Structure 1
Amino acid sequence: MRAFRIQNDSLGNSYFEEGTLPEYFSIASERFVIETKIAAYQKYQHPAPRFQYVVTLKGKLRFTTSDEKQFILEPGIILVAKDIHGEGHSWEIIEGDEWQRIYIIPNQNADDAFVAT
C-alpha cells in the first residue's frame, strides 16, 4: 500500500519519504481512534503527538514539512507520522470540507514496516 512517512532529522526538522507498507502487515496497536473534527492548528507547524498511522477515509490534504516540501494525502494512502520532536508539519484540506481519518497507535518501539521507494 502506498504510504508517506514523516520523521525528524538529527536537528529535529521534519521531512518526508514516499514508500509503501507491505501487504498483510499487522500492527500490534495500543488503540484505534476515529476522528472527523478539524484541528485549529491544521495550517500551523506542529509535531505528531506520538508515532501513529493515519488512514484517511475522506478528504484530500496537502502536508508541508519543515523543509517546505509538500505531498498530497488522500484515501488509499497511509501516513506514518513519526515527527514527534521539533516544529513538525502542517496540513490543509484542499478538496472537500472535512477530513475523516483513523489513527492507529502502535505499541511502543514497534517497527513501522515502511519501505522507502
Structure 2
Amino acid sequence: MTSEKAETKNYLKAIRLINIENDDCAFKIGKIPILQNINASYFFAKTDVSALEGIPHPAPRRQYVITIKGKLKFGVTNGETFIIEPGIVLIANDTKGIGHTWEIIDGDEWERIYIPLDEDTDDLFVAD
C-alpha cells in the first residue's frame, strides 16, 4: 500500500484493524468521508515509541490514530503488513486477542494523535 490519495476529494484514505475469527487481527483498506462529526470525548498526542514497537498488542480502545510524522509498517496475525504514514487514517478496532505489531521504517519518530471513539460510535469506515 502506498500513500496515494483517496479516490475522491470527499474522502480520506483509511485502514481499519479488526478482530476476526478466534480474535485474530486483520485489516481492511478503505476510506472515511470528510466533513463528518464523530462522537469523541477527547484526544491526545503521543511521541514515545519505546513501549510497544515490535511487540504484539491489541488496541486499548476503539480509536482513530492520526499520524503527523513517521512511516510505519504494521503487521497482523496472518503475517500480512501495511504502511501507515501521514495522509492515511488508522482505525484501531482490534481490541481483543494478540493484536497487531508496528515498527518505524523511516526515521526514528512517530508523532500521532489518538481520538478514542465513544462506545457505540460509527467509525464511518467505507471498505474499498
Q: Indicate the residue corresponding to 2:113 in structure 1.
A: 102
Gaps of 5+ in 1: none
The equivalent residue for 1:41 is 52
1-side partners of 2:116 and 2:50: how far apart?
Answer: 18
Alignment-mate amino acid for residue 116 of structure 2: I
Identical amino acids, percent of aligned pairs: 45
From 7, 21, 26, the counterpart of 2:37: 26
**1:66 is aligned to 2:55:** no
Cα deviations by residue, 1:18-53 (Å, 9 ceiling, x for unpaired): 000012121110210110011422101100000000
Instruction: Give me the TM-score of the superposition, normalised by structure 2.
Output: 0.89
Superimposed CA distance per residue, residues 42-87 of structure 1 (whole angstroms, 9 cap, x where no aligned partner)? 1011000000000000000000011111000000000000000000
Structure-2 residue corresponding to 1:90: 101
Give the Cα separation in 2 of the matches to 1:75 and 1:39: 20
Aligned length: 117
Cα root mean square deviation, aligned: 0.8
Higher strand share: 1
- Deviating above 3 A after TM superposition, structure 1's stretches of 4 or more consecutive aligned residues are none
Match of 2:90 in 1: 79
Give the secondary-structure state (helix, strand or coil) at the position aligned to 1:93.
strand
Q: State the partner residue of 1:8.
A: 19
